[in-house]
Structure 1
Amino acid sequence: MDVLVIGAGQAGLAAGYFLKRRGLDYRLLDAGAAAGGAWRHGWESLTLFSPAAQSSLPGWPMPPTPGGGYPPRDAVIAYLTAYEARYALPVQRPVQVTAVRRAAEGLRVEAAEGAAWTARAVISATGTWSHPFVPQVPGREAFAGRQIHSARYRRPADFAGQSVLVVGGGNSGAQILAEVSRHAARATWVTERPPVFLPDDVDGRVLFDRATARWQAEREGRPAPPPLGGLGNIVMVPPVVEARARRVLHSLPPFARLEAAGAVWADGSRVAAEAIIWCTGFRPALDHLAPLGLVEADGRVRVSPEGQALAEPRLWLLGYGDWTGAASATLAGVTRAARAVVAAILP
């Protein structure tokens, strides 16, 4: 086999599209029971930050959302499912890849189900969703209430009438705080630094354009362009705009520790809580690469600008974040990164 792709979410499908166009012998292995990648696990009200036309994989635009606006989670899942079928991409699922090892003929990929494959090149596109990150806050084990990561959050009604801490800034923290605050008895937002909001007319299109400008500058050896007007990182999607009107988009700095009944700050102040929603991000899902000895202390693999592992030229990484290609963890940005990987993998 020429190429084996581990993961068939948006990054894996984009790679599959370009591999198919090259006429290579390839296969995609996916741990999910159905198509849709990480989007299948997002909370019920999750939406994209950009219109459908700016959120498409290579070859086929995402159908526009009826009535306009940003595509909801279920529309993205339907699009990825249809995309996989449209191009007849050879996805095999569910397959839980457990190890990638060096072999004389290439790289050997082993699965929990007992199967194994050998390919001349492997593209790892497993994303981050399966590796949610929760910080080691003192007293976390002593907290008597419910704790979940945003990866497991589904709907605000699950917290109706409760006192809730939403921990973490960024878009997930802002969106979850916005809707939970309408149902909870009390919702308290805790962020590492004061949240900064993008202007109302800025969405994912502008963010992608900025990422593209940075990528082009780096490729050409020029200084990256300065931030435009001090823009922050939270997109003002409709639920966040509505929360602003209710004056709930304010946060407290990080607490010093947790106790059974809530959080305690360094000055001794307390906030009672019955539940904590950790919106504290994810780490790359790279456990399957452990046998290669490439994953460093920061949880990443050192790669070239095209995503090739520097210490194992038969391995490529795609879609984990800007370190594997500018905006490569987004629907809008993964096309460029996937094209570059496939163009370089078997010239």
Structure 2
Amino acid sequence: MLQIKVEKNGGDYSVIQEAIDAVPYDESAVIEIGVGVYREKIFCEKKDITLVGAGMAETVIDYDDYANEVMPDGSKRGTFRTYTAFFGGKKVTVRDMTIRNSAGDGRVVGQAVAVYADADVCRFENVKMTGCQDTLFCAPLPVAARQQNGFMGPRMMTERRLTKQYYKNCEIVGDVDFIFGGADAVFDDCVITCNDRMFGRSSAGVSAGSATTVSGGSGVDKDQIDVSERIINGYITAACGLKDNLGFVFRNCSITGASGCEKGSVFLGRPWREEARTVFLNCTMDDSIASERFSGWGGITKDEPDTFYGEFGTRIAAGIGTGASNSGSEAGKLASLEYKNPWVRDIDEALALEISRRADELVQGVNGDGVSGDGSL
């Protein structure tokens, strides 16, 4: 197995992309990335590669491409060419670093992907992924785009294939649809935080590249999110997997709004396509999470009967995140789901155990060593 070191000074390489390019496709390799902020746009497509940083706070890969950027031919960059890091190939492992897209508020710049995860098998551990709209894309794409060239990017013309992805002890930050795609993906012990988009308050300093600053306020933003009657800070997920797949499974995660997020302003998800599947098992959430839990696509109460959305064992947060306003006496109580949208599933313990068993099978396959995640209920 190849061992390569990237350091600002003194490594085999000082540029991450050069180290990746040096690895023959069929060779297994571990690339250790030292302390520092690496302003790079990464494209990695190898048979078996591992990238290891010096820690979330120590190793940072940062770029700021964004969807509304006008390209030399006059077209816009679009979502799927904005990634800071693209991971394709057969197997990729990423550990101990931050990957961010620093383009800024989606109401100014549009979508801005930090991580485009498209390897057959993906494993992320102790990785912070941060951005605003569309932070983490868990490939594959849907079969068809809703607008011409809507999928312009590295996989637009390729056959769609299901990927298996595992996220352990990761931190994921964003606001609109910031964990999205058609993968089977398991998130264990992760911290998921929705940005405060500062409605009705000054948002001075919110900018992206050369884009203009966005002002707070209500109305309809570029995503056609109607906030004229209700403030919506974001949607955590936007899945597009098929009904027989596992979809997105979050287990023992912390789900919160950032400081300033209004109560009930964050949805657990909305379906990018009709058969979206997303469940939350034994997660802790604060009061920024909307009582309806999941939104329809194009409207909070829009009927979405073909989705598989639900949660089990959700507990109320106290003092975690910053959207929480529950008293200590309420901490740990099971959340009330009495106001959830009618198409959100009722998941009992038996079904939760079955979903968790399927999630453990995926984790075992990704790890390749028979070690599962913590699927306890």
Q: TM-score, normalised by structure 2?
A: 0.22
Structure exhibiting the larger radius of gyration computed from Cα positions: 1
TM-score of the two chains, using structure 1 as the length reference: 0.23
Which has a greater percent of helix?
1
Higher strand share: 2
Q: Which has the higher contact order (CA 8 A, sep 6+)?
A: 1
